[in-house]
Amino acid sequence: MPPKRTGLSRLIFATGYSINGLKAAFASEAAIRQECIAMLVLIPCAFYLDIQHVERLLLLFSLFIVFITELLNTAVEKLADHVSTDMHELIGKAKDIGSAAVFISLIMAATTWGIILF
């Protein structure tokens, strides 16, 4: 096992691991790519709109919460598939719950954008 890193070295390596995770998620998951495209469109819209700073922050937070939730769901799915690719009731439940979390985050984002825009 490699020695534990501390200080700036740990931060640099942790950043590298995070970038690797983003690349892996983007390469393997269509939902991640779709959400990135949506964010590329919606983030500039949030800055273009004539709204209060707090409202803009809520719009941006809602997008990032969806993205974070999708990343966590992807991690659960990849881990579950590593454990077993066979149909298993508990693995199915774990994947369904992760999917439900993404669904709830999407509803929250849509509601936030809907209330602020309309």
Which tens digits make up the pLDDT trace of 34-49?
Answer: 999 999 999 999 999 9
Domain boundaries, the chain: 31-117
pLDDT at 20 over 90: yes
Average confidence (pLDDT) over 62-84: 94
* Known active-site residue 70: yes
Q: Any binding-site annotation on 48?
A: no
C-alpha–C-alpha distance, residues 115 and 91, integer Å:
36
Q: Any binding-site annotation on 17?
A: yes
Do 61 and 113 form a contact (C-beta atoms < 8 A)?
A: no
C-alpha–C-alpha distance, residues 10 and 4, integer Å:
8
Catalytic residue among 46, 70, 73, 102: 70
Average confidence (pLDDT) over 85-93: 87
C-alpha–C-alpha distance, residues 3 and 15, integer Å:
17
The pLDDT assigned to 111 comes to 98
What is residue 6's three-state secondary structure?
Answer: coil
Whether the model clears a pTM of 0.85, i.e. scores above it, the answer is yes
Place of tokens 């700036």: 8
Pick the CATH number of 31-117 from 1.10.3720.10, 1.10.287.3610, 3.40.50.150, 3.30.70.20: 1.10.287.3610
The pLDDT assigned to 1 comes to 66
Q: Any binding-site annotation on 50?
A: no
